[in-house]
Chains A and B, each alone.
Chain A
Amino acid sequence: MFTSQSSAAARIAKRRLLRSSTARRVARRAVSTQVEPPPAGGHLPGIATSKFLRTTRDAALRTPGITWRDDEHGAPVREIIGGRETRKMNVYQAVRDAMSIALMKDDTAVVFGEDVAFGGVFRCTMGLAEEFGRERVFNTPLSEQGIAGFGIGLAAMGQTAIAEIQFADYIFPAFDQLVNEAAKYRYRSGGQFNVGGLTVRTPTMSVGHGGLYHSQSPEGFFMGAAGLKIVIPRSPIQAKGLLLSSIRDPNPVIFMEPKILYRSAGTYGFMASSEAFPLTCIGNVVEQVPIDDFELPIGRAETLTTGTDLTLLTWGTPVYHCETALSMLANPPPSLAKHVPASLRSAKVELIDLRTILPWDVETVLESVKKTGRLVVVHEACRTAGVGAEIAAEVQKKAFLKLNAPVRRVTAWDVPTGLQYEKFVIPDAIRILDSIVETLAY
């Protein structure tokens, strides 16, 4: 695992590891035969050419579930796509575009957070202060609990409050405000008050070298907080449509943006990236994004590929790792070929992007699992009490007799994400392939 291992103990440990399952042997060898260390986020041959990215105008305008919102309140919605334009955007530009539309159309909307008036560390608010004024797009002091509470107050006054928490790892100081105040506001006032205008945006998931406090995926911690919604987009179109929906949803929403997807492949410096390390992006996650105002549905998963043999469920960054795993399953590279039984290569896997974590789309997932009889859930957060645990429990209850294999979870290990261990902790395409093979062969 680590190049410098040479002691006898390390050799024994390695041998012990190598004695484990076939697929794991594959994973080891695949890694150890590489000359260069894998890039941040692992090898993702398919991401720039991901077939889930809508890179033409026509494909973009036909995004499933899209609802156009180009008219003022009350006017009929135009369903026609003719005459609509798209522009090439990556995720951070799409996020910015959504906020720009929200600020333009809604006079009560304000955007605030640490350094957001300068564009924020990931550039998602670039130029918004200049465009809409510093009284609407402003920096806050460094105080996450304060930011959340302040946003709750604003929202309680009927305003649209769009807060940024600089990293999902720093949402914990705001945890109390979000779970005890925002989530319960409506309930505890017997419906007299609500903070539906609150949206908290925050960059999430790993980038390969974030270490303890720049790698976490805290969506699971909020899952039991009824009253909140949690949304995680996978691409520019999804980011824009889902963020506009989140901003307008009459409930407080935590919108988590996978930061490794923000920009095209490369490593970026400060104010174009993160506060304490350069942002490394894994691929050209670029789409033609409709420039009009549109929304995508919250609470609804999207089926990306249909299949009958196994359901692969994920959200955010791992969508692309799953895509890679599926292409390896169908066409294993020579180094993997002998570990992927030929009989499994033609398996039809149904890949679902969950998109909304709370409330999650039980119906779509169940329908799929009842058809396929097998479920693998992939997420970057740790396994114990992660989102996958809830999904597995629900699925085994509702589809027990339809299951042909135990529900399998591919997740981070139950350890903190130490800097040097990150690439081993976060699941990658090989781990996913491994679980698919074992679940299919169960």
Chain B
Amino acid sequence: MEWTSYLPPLLQGAWVTVQLTVYSTILGAVLAFAFGIGKLSNNWLIKGVSIGYIEIFRGTSLLVQLFWLYFALPIAGQAIGIDLRLPPVVAGVLALGLNIGAYGAEVVRGAIQAVPKDQYEAGRALNFTPRQAMWRIALPQAVPEMMPTFGNLAVQNLKDTALVSLISLGDLAFRAENIRNFTQDSTTVYTLVLFMYFGMALVLTAFMKIAERSVGRWKTAGR
């Protein structure tokens, strides 16, 4: 078989991988901000929930989280009479997003805490509320600091999507495995897949760099 004939199914798979990456990275970013800020809250309930989430999802493997959402949750749901069967895509996006969000939350927390105390004092002297100080003063300074690590996490997330092939989601890794089973042409298939993942990672990295530059524009103004 011509290697070009592998391309259509692989590209289909790659498209699923792209979607998984984009959706779960967005979900992860939202969770990262919510729980990263939550961990700094003075409200013990919000703080406790945030710490719990972060520790659980960082302390267990993504594979287990994925299997739990896809296989265990429906059974647990059955026991209490709720239908918790998730389509593979949903389970995949959720697992990936929850996992990357937990790592991201620590990055968000760290970057916010790294904003100098001086800045909060200036905010207080100008009578900003604590919430305004967070959104208007701390976060705009913290976000550029988070971006390089967020970039790494997004690429990590892209690579992690390969795991969802294990719940028979037709992503790039899943298609590759199918073609390999069918043709036994491991070398060609996996070389193609390697380059496709690498290409996607390059695009994603470039995209994150652009985002990084745009949120940190003020740092380089006039230089």
A and B: partners? no
Interface residues of A (CB under 8 A from B): none
Interface residues of B (CB under 8 A from A): none
